[in-house]
Chain A
Amino acid sequence: MVNIHIKSSTDNKFTVDVDLSITVADFKNVLAERGTIPADQQRIIYSGRILKDHQTLAELNIQEGHTVHLVRGSAPPPPPPSSEQVPNPTNMPQGIPGMPNNVQQMMNDPMMQNILNSPMVQNMFDNPELLRGMIMNNPEMRAVLEQNPEMAHVFNDPRVLRQTFDMMRNPELMREMMRNADRAMLNVENHPEGFNLLRRMYTNVQEPLMNAANQSSMNQTNSNTIPSNSDPNPNSSPLPNPWSSTPASNTGTGNTTLPQSSSSSSTSPQPSTTTPNPNAAANPFASMFANMGGNSGGASSNSPNPNTSNPLNNMFAGMGGMGGMGDMGMGGMNAAQISEYLNNPMIQTYMQQMASNPQMLQQMIESNPQTRRLLEANPQMRDMISNPEFLNMFSNPQNIQAMLQMQQAMGTLQNNGMFGGNNSPSGMGGFGGFGGMGGMGGFGNMAGMGNMGGMGGMGGFGGMGGFSNPQSGQQSQETPEQRYQIQLTQLEELGFLDRQANIVALTATNGNINDAIDRLLR
């Protein structure tokens, strides 16, 4: 609950205590009780805008102590069905849980736009029948559609499909949608529970991880510039298991389903030296991910660099590799989107279903030639997928969120120059990793509006994880004060006088002065 101040044109000022997850429409009802303006005549103004009823306060980035203006407008005529939002004449049912959101989120990804604009996909869009065929060929998708008549309607009507795609291609609309998505990303953080969750995650996961990383990077020599097929990693001490403190980690699984050393370079077109993981036993998760990374990351990423030595790195590269399970659609989404995605009840149900019925997932994978190939090449992965426990693990939102957090932590570590050069996109790999998440991906197919059905390979993006630029940064030897000299001066000129805080902020944001200011102002 947060306090929001209301400046009303008629009732003067007052303060209400609300939950940020409520929509503007609910908020108006709260205000109607406190003031004299009936909800349908309220116009709430925040940040230079009139708030729309369907938005949630969190989406709008309203925060504790902020003030909104309230004025009386005229009573509205019965509103035309969401015409101001999506000029889609058929008024695509907002009621499909998760759907509009997911489409928007997908659009947020420049990668996605590229894909959408590629001639092949355009072609596909021009032929909705084809797309529909693709979707209907998948027995599981069909089952899902049968369970969700609304959705079936969307897919069965080529006209609707076409309109949807036109909408996606329209840059104007897309921008609007992307803006919404930006806001949505703040949700997790702004939502009071979400914030707690993040905080919990921070203490449970990020800190141990940081410690672990610190340790291992100290142990690490610079041997990772030599691409070799042997294990170049001198770090043989087990990594502290960052998962040990997370409440819901089903740690048994990794060990039982997976051979511990990864032997996967056979599938990879490049010499992918997945480190035989010395701490497999100590950290089943790490080993699991490393394995997967080896299996699929190598295969899908075409990584020019061998996966290098740091086990942590490796682990995440591995997660990236999971994206390579291909076709799973979620690749490239960012953390907040994913957690939103995961909190969507429909997805949870779907994932539970999936978890309780491994065959379903298998079928889904089998019906996709790409993933099938992948699986055939990687029997380990097949084992993993058919293990219900493993799926369970992924269907536990806490686990997934914890993983997300780890990825973010990785991103931070990497930004801070802890792992190699500035531009190594290994953080990205982590994200892509989620693409792979078994059942979820399958949902990705559907929820993203058929996530453009056979858009295949998108998840493969995750393979980027394989890249970890092995040049350990020189810069980490400079003090932040030296490194961010210019930014520090700039901050001081702008009136941020606490030098220590400035340094901390700049370090945390890798010298990005805008982000640093954001932090300082928070």
Chain B
Amino acid sequence: MSGAATLLLKKQLAELNKHPVEGFSAGLSDDGNFFEWQIMIVGPPETPYEGGIFNATLSFTAEYPVKPPKMKFTTEIWHPNVYKDGVVCISILHEGEDIYGYEKSNERWSPVHTVESILVSVISMLSSPNDESPANIDASNEWRKDREAFNKRVKRLARKSLDCL
């Protein structure tokens, strides 16, 4: 008997298949394993990410929804809140109180979050980076100080992302 995590995720998958959400497409990496999701995010319009397609994985544990999943871009992406190895650092994927006080607890992980709500947050993160708690310091600095270079680099990667498909 599988736990509540699988069941919840299964339900979400069925929902997403029926009523997909603008901006991303989600499915299982491995049929039958509801803990590993494969995500494709369409670069949001009117951002330098536009035109790119970004692959990511979303890894849940059996403790979902008590614990948040981990999200990692597998396509190279340049963003203040994404580590260079692709791990996404946004407040809603973090548990509990932020010891640095940057993130309010109501912006942090809560069991109500679903694949959909996580990805909507990530997409909004792409449009508006949060440079207060950067994961990629170089990207963050560039975003703050040399937006033009930042945009150019992002666009180059967005184009590159299509070649990798």
Instruction: Tell me the minimal C-beta distance from A407 to chain B in angstroms.
Output: 23
Question: Roughly how many angstroms separate A517 CA and B42 CA in the complex, as a whole number?
Answer: 30
Question: Roughly how many angstroms separate A67 CA and B42 CA in the complex, as a whole number?
Answer: 14
Task: Let me know if B4 and A493 touch, CB within 8 A.
Answer: yes
Task: Let me know if B17 and A43 touch, CB within 8 A.
Answer: no
Task: Let me know if B25 and A45 touch, CB within 8 A.
Answer: yes
Residues of chain B with a CB closer than 8 A to A495's CB: 11
Which residue of B is nearest A486, CB measured?
A: B1
Interface locus among A47-55, A124-132, A267-275, A306-314: A47-55
Task: Let me know if A48 and B162 touch, CB within 8 A.
Answer: no
Question: Roughly how many angstroms separate A517 CA and B6 CA in the complex, as a whole number?
Answer: 11
Interface locus among A68-76, A422-430, A431-439: A68-76
Contact A494-B8, Cβ < 8 Å, known A45-B53, A514-B2: yes
Task: Let me know if A46 and B27 touch, CB within 8 A.
Answer: yes
Residues of chain B with a CB closer than 8 A to A63's CB: 17
Q: Is the interface of A mostly helix, strand, loop or mixed?
A: mixed
B91 within 8 A of A: no
Which residue of B is nearest A77, CB measured?
A: B163
Question: Roughly how many angstroms separate A63 CA and B17 CA in the complex, as a whole number?
Answer: 9
Question: Roughly how many angstroms separate A377 CA and B159 CA in the complex, as a whole number?
Answer: 70
A7 in complex: contacting residue of B8, B22, B30, B40, CB < 8 Å: B22
Contact A43-B165, Cβ < 8 Å, known A490-B7, A517-B7: yes
Interface residues on B, range: 20 to 34
Question: Roughly how many angstroms separate A50 CA and B22 CA in the complex, as a whole number?
Answer: 16
A48 in complex: contacting residue of B7, B10, B39, B165, CB < 8 Å: B39
Give the contacts of B1-22 with A (CB-CB under 8 A).
Answer: 1-2, 4, 6-8, 10-11, 14, 17-18, 20, 22
Task: Let me know if B31 and A9 touch, CB within 8 A.
Answer: no
B37 within 8 A of A: yes
A71 in complex: contacting residue of B6, B28, B162, CB < 8 Å: B162
Task: Let me know if A47 and B27 touch, CB within 8 A.
Answer: yes
Task: Let me know if A74 and B27 touch, CB within 8 A.
Answer: no
Residues of chain B with a CB closer than 8 A to A490's CB: 4, 7
Interface membership of chain A positions 502-522, coded 1 if the CB is closer than 8 angstroms to chain B and 0 otherwise? 000000000001100110010
Contact A514-B38, Cβ < 8 Å, known A47-B27, A66-B18: no
Task: Let me know if A74 and B17 touch, CB within 8 A.
Answer: no
B42 in complex: contacting residue of A47, A65, A69, A179, CB < 8 Å: A69
Question: Roughly how many angstroms separate A518 CA and B31 CA in the complex, as a whole number?
Answer: 14
Which residue of A is nearest B30, CB measured?
A: A179
A499 within 8 A of B: no
Task: Let me know if A46 and B162 touch, CB within 8 A.
Answer: no
Contact A66-B17, Cβ < 8 Å, known A71-B162, A494-B4: yes
Question: Roughly how many angstroms separate A358 CA and B162 CA in the complex, as a whole number?
Answer: 56
Task: Let me know if B51 and A46 touch, CB within 8 A.
Answer: no
A182 within 8 A of B: yes
B26 within 8 A of A: yes
Residues of chain A with a CB closer than 8 A to B32's CB: 182
B11 in complex: contacting residue of A43, A68, A71, A494, CB < 8 Å: A494
Residues of chain A with a CB closer than 8 A to B1's CB: 513
Task: Let me know if A50 and B40 touch, CB within 8 A.
Answer: yes
Question: Roughly how many angstroms separate A43 CA and B52 CA in the complex, as a whole number?
Answer: 11
Residues of chain A with a CB closer than 8 A to B31's CB: 179, 182-183
Question: Roughly how many angstroms separate A72 CA and B25 CA in the complex, as a whole number?
Answer: 16
Task: Let me know if A47 and B30 touch, CB within 8 A.
Answer: no
Instruction: Tell me the minimal C-beta distance from A252 to chain B in angstroms.
Output: 44
- A→B interface (CB under 8 Å): 7, 9, 43, 45-50, 63, 65-69, 71-74, 179, 182-183, 490, 493-495, 513-514, 517-518, 521
5 contacts between A and B (CB under 8 A): A7-B20, A48-B26, A49-B40, A73-B163, A517-B14
Can you list the 9 inter-chain pairs with the closest CB atoms, starting with the nearest? A47-B27, A48-B38, A48-B27, A67-B20, A521-B14, A73-B162, A45-B25, A48-B26, A50-B165
